């Protein structure tokens, strides 16, 4: 009888184990939405699959700071760890930060309560904690998010590798970068949000299988510039260990602004707020509805078909007790006052191709707007609209690049080169040159020349019979599946994706970018420059600087930096 009972119990427990084994994979993940207990509180995630079919968990919309609303609007973020006694539903993405999307939808979207992050991980309790990659999204500091379902940054390609991926949202435009240029509102709140998210990752990522001592920050465009700002800031010291900046630098004219105070006053006047004293102006602006603020922001646009002026972005906030950016980046790098970590920086071959594509879209009206006053467009690109010599300097740039006797529709290549030089190549090249000479860690440089099957220029409605080159953000197509390009369809794109993801994730793990699909990539030295020409048909390590270098002498008297 006892034997029969024992056999029955064995069958019962075997059945229970089988059920549990079905519900839980070999890696310990529930196949349904699990509730997991962490020191932060209980949390519900969701199951996802990588591009190659690997199962992983996602925990999305996790708050890392208090909602920046009411009295916390235009204030430093307030860090939060625990989310309370209740269970956090992290099975879906949180909202984007409130923004006026002037490039794609031409709509206001998002919420102010947006300081949240997304975590994607293979195992909550791996045998060895895994390297962490924290993505900082781009969007000119005025639009975008770190989301995948509702934005551009799905995790499926990167999660083919053994990493933990984190994507973050941070305050944008007016809400992230307003400044009274005094201690009442020094600005840079969006950058402080990023640093606060990094602090959260440092403190808590081990609960999700990530190694807090192996964190890589990476980003594109404004996200790339943000990566450099985090390298330069004392607020982020010790919170990351490697960095990758794609198509962005802290020294680009659009990434370090001197006009934020002027635009803040313009905004206040437009919303019937007094501009002095600063605390009364801020009190008035805090009383306004967020959509009311952004509706006026739309009226500040100088060019009908473009985002200019950017108006609100990072600045040297010397008025803050501990500045986020105390001096110009060039001076900080030359003085070695930055976080010395292995660093990758680079750009696409035709960065401003997407701008020219936008000019050629929608009946060519944007091109006509540019044709009427190209110097004005360049002046705003340089953020020299308030400089007395701004018009003269912009005229010089246009004169050196464009032929006044030829129609602009016959000079698309020259327009692209001019705007690429002004907005991207000059500042990125200068930054790479400075870090290779002053960093105590390796600095790698790349030039992205792989032509993807899909391009940003196609999405914005540009003519399909015009070649706009390898433009800004084109590499994102092979890094992240998204709502527009859900999967790669060509062999060349698939192999390029495998190569780039391999380089980035190996760099995140060991500080050295390696892939079997790419030749050995050497870092630059103080004496010698190298760059990786990234092209799936023929990846090459090249001596010297990328091919645009010869043109940059035109800008040496226009884009000037402080003397050491």
Using only the alpha carbons of the chain, give its radius of gyration. Answer: 24
Do residues 348 and 212 make contact, with C-beta atoms less than 8 angstroms apart?
Answer: no
Burial 289-323 (b: 16+ CB within 10 A, else e): ebeebbebbeebeeeebbbbbbbbbbbbbebbeeb
Active-site pick, 181, 351, 416, 475: 351
Q: What is the pLDDT of residue 20?
A: 38
Distance of alpha carbon 230 from alpha carbon 192, whole angstroms:
9
Query: 210, 225, 241: which is closest to 126 by C-alpha?
Result: 210
Instruction: State the total domains in the chain.
Output: 1
What does pTM read for this prediction?
Answer: 0.93
Q: What is the pLDDT of residue 33?
A: 64
Find the CATH number of the domain harbouring 392.
3.40.50.1820
Tell me if 23 is assigned to some domain: no
Do residues 561 and 251 make contact, with C-beta atoms less than 8 angstroms apart?
Answer: yes
What DSSP letter does each residue of 66-95 carry, written as one string?
----GGGTTS---B-----SSPEE-SS--P
Distance of alpha carbon 557 from alpha carbon 532, whole angstroms:
29
Q: What is the pLDDT of residue 29?
A: 46
Tell me if 273 is assigned to some domain: yes
Q: What is the pLDDT of residue 179?
A: 98
Q: What is the pLDDT of residue 361?
A: 81
Tell me if 544 is assigned to some domain: yes
Centre a 10 Å sphere on the Cβ of residue 401 and count the other Cβ atoms it contains.
20
Distance of alpha carbon 215 from alpha carbon 54, whole angstroms:
22
Copy the structure tokens of residue 499.
């190569």
Tell me if 548 is assigned to some domain: yes
Q: Give me the domain span that covers residue 504.
A: 33-555
Active-site pick, 102, 179, 214, 221: 221
Q: What is the DSSP letter of 559?
A: S
Tell me if 560 is assigned to some domain: no
Do residues 397 and 554 make contact, with C-beta atoms less than 8 angstroms apart?
Answer: yes
Q: Is position 131 annotated as part of the catalytic site?
A: no
Q: Which residues contact 385 (CB under 8 A, 6 or more apart)?
A: 259, 302, 309, 379
Distance of alpha carbon 192 from alpha carbon 322, whole angstroms:
12
Distance of alpha carbon 139 from alpha carbon 222, whole angstroms:
6
Tell me if 393 is assigned to some domain: yes
Q: What is the pLDDT of residue 10?
A: 38
Distance of alpha carbon 319 from alpha carbon 228, whole angstroms:
21
Tell me if 18 is assigned to some domain: no
Copy the structure tokens of residue 379.
């002046």
Tell me if 135 is assigned to some domain: yes
**How are the residues of the chain apportioned to helix, strand and coil, as percentages rounded to the nearest 5?**
35, 15, 45
Q: Which residues contact 397 (CB under 8 A, 6 or more apart)?
A: 375, 378, 382, 418, 422, 554, 555, 558
Distance of alpha carbon 478 from alpha carbon 490, whole angstroms:
11
Query: 135, 132, 173: which is closest to 153 by C-alpha?
Result: 135
The side-by-side arrangement of strands in the sheet containing 164-168 is: 46-49, 55-63, 116-121, 164-168, 130-136, 210-220, 242-246, 343-348, 443-448, 530-534, 540-543
74, with CB counted inside 10 A (0-12, 13-18, 19+), is: buried
Do residues 117 and 62 make contact, with C-beta atoms less than 8 angstroms apart?
Answer: yes
Distance of alpha carbon 315 from alpha carbon 181, whole angstroms:
9
Q: Which residues contact 494 (CB under 8 A, 6 or more apart)?
A: 488
Q: What is the pLDDT of residue 19?
A: 35
Do residues 440 and 525 make contact, with C-beta atoms less than 8 angstroms apart?
Answer: no
Active-site pick, 137, 241, 447, 472: 472
Cross-strand bridge partners of residue 35: 44
Whether cis (ω within 30° of 0) applies to the bond prior to 277 is yes
Q: What is the pLDDT of residue 360?
A: 87
Q: How would you write the pLDDT of the chain (564 residues) with one tens digit per residue?
A: 434 344 344 334 333 433 333 344 434 444 456 678 889 999 999 999 999 999 999 999 999 999 999 999 999 999 998 887 889 999 999 999 999 988 777 899 999 999 999 999 999 999 999 999 999 999 999 999 999 998 999 999 999 999 999 999 999 999 999 999 999 999 999 999 999 999 999 999 999 999 999 999 999 999 999 999 999 999 999 999 999 999 999 999 999 999 999 999 999 999 999 999 999 999 999 999 999 999 999 999 888 777 889 999 999 999 999 999 999 999 999 999 999 999 999 999 999 999 999 888 877 788 888 988 999 999 999 999 999 999 999 999 999 999 988 988 899 999 999 999 999 999 999 999 999 999 999 999 999 999 998 887 877 778 888 899 999 999 999 999 987 777 898 999 999 999 999 999 999 999 999 999 999 999 999 999 999 999 999 999 999 999 999 999 999 989 888 876
Copy the structure tokens of residue 9.
């119990």
Q: Is position 221 annotated as part of the catalytic site?
A: yes
Q: Is position 278 annotated as part of the catalytic site?
A: no
């Amino acid at each position: 009888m006892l034997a029969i009972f024992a056999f029955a119990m064995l069958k019962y427990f075997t059945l229970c184990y089988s059920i549990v084994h079905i519900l839980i994979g070999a890696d310990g993940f529930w196949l349904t939405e699990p509730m997991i207990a962490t020191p932060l509180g209980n949390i519900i995630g969701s199951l996802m699959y990588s591009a190659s079919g690997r199962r992983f968990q996602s925990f999305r919309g996790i708050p890392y700071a208090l909602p920046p609303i009411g009295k916390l609007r235009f204030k430093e973020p307030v860090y939060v760890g625990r989310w309370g006694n209740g269970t956090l539903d992290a099975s879906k993405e949180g909202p984007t930060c409130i923004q006026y999307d002037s490039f794609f939808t031409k709509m206001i979207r998002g919420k102010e309560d947006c300081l949240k992050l997304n975590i994607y991980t293979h195992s909550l309790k791996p045998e060895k904690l895994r390297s962490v990659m924290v993505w900082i999204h781009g969007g000119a500091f005025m639009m975008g998010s770190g989301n995948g379902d509702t934005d551009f940054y799905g995790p499926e390609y990167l999660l083919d590798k053994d990493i933990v991926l984190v994507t973050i949202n941070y305050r944008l435009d007016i809400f992230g970068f307003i400044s009274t240029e005094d201690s009442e509102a020094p600005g840079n709140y969006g950058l402080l949000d990023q640093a606060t998210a990094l602090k959260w990752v440092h403190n808590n990522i081990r609960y999700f299988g990530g190694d807090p001592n192996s964190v890589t920050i990476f980003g594109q465009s404004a996200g790339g510039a943000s990566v450099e700002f985090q390298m330069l800031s004392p607020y982020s010291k010790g919170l990351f260990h490697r960095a990758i900046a794609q198509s962005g630098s802290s020294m680009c004219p659009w990434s370090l602004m001197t006009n934020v105070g002027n635009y803040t006053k313009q905004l206040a006047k437009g919303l019937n707020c007094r501009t002095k004293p600063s605390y009364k102006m801020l009190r008035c602006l805090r009383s306004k509805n967020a959509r009311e603020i952004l509706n006026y922001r739309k009226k500040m646009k100088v060019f009908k078909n473009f985002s200019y002026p950017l108006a609100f972005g990072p600045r040297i906030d010397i008025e803050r007790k501990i500045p986020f950016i105390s001096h110009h980046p060039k001076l900080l790098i030359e003085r070695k006052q930055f976080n010395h970590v292995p660093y990758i920086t680079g750009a696409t071959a035709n960065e401003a191709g997407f701008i020219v594509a936008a000019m050629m879209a929608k009946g060519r009206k944007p091109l006509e707007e540019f044709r009427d006053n190209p110097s004005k467009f360049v002046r705003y690109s340089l953020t020299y609209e308030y400089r007395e010599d701004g018009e003269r300097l912009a005229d010089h740039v246009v004169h050196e690049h464009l032929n006044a006797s030829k129609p602009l529709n016959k000079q698309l290549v020259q327009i692209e080169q001019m705007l690429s030089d002004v907005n991207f190549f000059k500042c990125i090249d200068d930054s790479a040159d400075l870090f290779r000479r002053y960093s105590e860690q390796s600095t790698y440089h790349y030039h992205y020349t792989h032509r993807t099957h899909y391009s940003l220029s196609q999405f914005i409605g540009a003519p399909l019979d015009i070649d706009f080159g390898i433009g800004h953000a084109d590499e994102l197509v092979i890094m992240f599946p998204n709502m527009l390009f859900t999967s790669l369809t060509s062999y060349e794109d698939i192999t390029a994706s495998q190569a780039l993801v391999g380089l980035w994730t190996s760099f995140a793990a060991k500080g050295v970018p390696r892939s079997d699909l790419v030749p050995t990539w050497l870092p630059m030295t103080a004496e010698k420059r190298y760059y990786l020409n990234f092209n799936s048909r023929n990846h090459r390590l090249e001596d010297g600087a990328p091919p645009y270098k010869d043109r940059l002498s035109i800008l040496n008297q226009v884009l000037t930096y402080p003397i050491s």
